Amino acid sequence: MAPKEKQAELAKHRDILLATIDYHIEKTAGSMVYDQVDPLTDLYQQLKQQTEKYYLSRRLDRIKQRLHAMTRMPLLNSDLSFNGFIKEKTGHDIDIFESLHSRVDKIIDQKEIKNEDEHHDAMAMANLSRQTPVYKEKIDALTTLLVDFANKKKSPGKNYFFTRHLLEIYSPDNKRRIIISEDGSGKNAMTSVNIYFEAASGVIYAANGINLNTRTYWWNNNTIIIETKKGITSVTKCNQVQSFEDIVSIKYIEN
């Protein structure tokens, strides 16, 4: 590739990546704020700075890798507005679904989902089929392969990963819920409390180990009480969580 062509390609992919980051910011800014910190927005600003560094050092390969990673979510969600957003922001045409059909055909031909990347593609096609017409046979075949892949992941092994939902509790007004769960493998197992708002969710408390007898409940619509045993060291311990205008406080009691 000639230097001028490479520079043009570099600038194009930089612009598309920066617009993609802006797209994620618009979708997620304020969706989950922990103790007045919005971790996603902070992360995206760091990614923008890193993108400019890649551009200045002419690392087109790194920009393409990051762009591929950051288009996985709109692809998986079959977000049909993404392509138009990029066109409006940059003037460049992009179609994140262009090669999806060929990748999915390959999965169907091999009669097996072999890894997480292929699993994501199969899920993306299944989601896309709910919004755009596709061949029914293709979706029927994918459904079978998705079930097979899920069953294969459930098979116990040396490093078998498990997830157990211990309790699910809705707030008094039924607008939010918390789930206490245990997950992990072997000595890396963990107990966590997750909060689910209307449009987002996240971990508000986590500690190493299982069978910790953590007691969690709603005091009112905007206050959660978490009771733990003394001596338990938390990995995550949030005192306030916010999703847009919805604010919930977390109070802790050690028994």
For the chain, the structural domain boundaries read: 3-90, 100-154, 162-254
SS3 219: strand
pLDDT value for 107? 93
Positions of E strands within the chain: 33-34, 162-170, 177-184, 190-196, 201-208, 215-220, 223-228, 234-237, 240-243, 246-254
Task: Inform me whether the pLDDT recorded for 116 exceeds 90.
Answer: no
Neighbours of 52 (CB within 10 A): 11
CA dist 150 and 143 (Å) reads 11
pLDDT value for 125? 87
The pLDDT tens digits for 64-74 are 999 999 998 89
Q: What are residue 246's DSSP bridge partners? A: 243
pLDDT value for 159? 56
CA atoms within 13 A on the CB side of 156: 1
CA dist 172 and 221 (Å) reads 6
CA dist 195 and 168 (Å) reads 10
CA dist 215 and 193 (Å) reads 10
Provide mean pLDDT across the span 108-125: 89
pLDDT value for 78? 84
Provide mean pLDDT across the span 194-220: 93
Give the global pTM: 0.73
The pLDDT tens digits for 163-176 are 888 999 999 999 99
The pLDDT tens digits for 30-59 are 899 999 999 988 899 999 999 999 999 999
Task: Inform me whether the pLDDT recorded for 28 exceeds 80.
Answer: yes
Provide mean pLDDT across the span 141-145: 86
Quick one: the chain helix, strand, coil %, rounded to 5? 45, 25, 30
Task: Inform me whether the pLDDT recorded for 250 exceeds 70.
Answer: yes
Provide mean pLDDT across the span 214-218: 93
pLDDT value for 12? 96
Residue 3 — pLDDT band, cuts 50, 70, 90? confident
pLDDT value for 87? 96
Task: For residue 201, give Cα distances in angstroms to 96, 106, 112.
Answer: 26, 34, 32
